[in-house]
Amino acid sequence: MKKESKPDRYVSFVGIEGDKNSRELMAMLRRHIDDPQKTNRFWELFIKKLDLVGLTDNNGGRCLDELFLIHSYINNIRELFELYDDQPALALLEQIETESC
């Protein structure tokens, strides 16, 4: 029986769509945090960080990306998806954590 081949982030990122998955997860997150009934001060500040993705001018020369923000705030993101029982988002978050974080 042949073992199923899965990408291994410790060997190579080949076959892992980290950027695409990260952008997709952020879109899923925005559906929640852009809703005035679901947001709070933390998520309002997070949106400001998300707005800096790809920019270096207003971020001390650092260039943030979605994966960095997911990695940095993974527990907060997971908690929000659990709160709203967003199973597709939780599944994608788990995939990103396994493959890329």
Q: Say if residues 69 and 53 touch (Cβ distance below 8 Å).
A: yes
Residue 73 structure tokens: 């705030």
User: What's the predicted TM-score (pTM) here?
Assistant: 0.81
Q: Say if residues 74 and 65 touch (Cβ distance below 8 Å).
A: no
Phi-psi sector, 47: left (phi>0), alpha (psi -120 to 50), beta: alpha
Alpha carbons 96 and 59: distance in angstroms, whole number: 25
Distance of CA 88 to the CA centre of its chain: 13
- pLDDT tens for the 101 residues of the chain, in order: 455 566 555 556 667 788 899 999 999 999 999 999 999 999 999 999 999 898 877 667 777 899 999 999 999 999 999 999 999 999 999 999 988 87
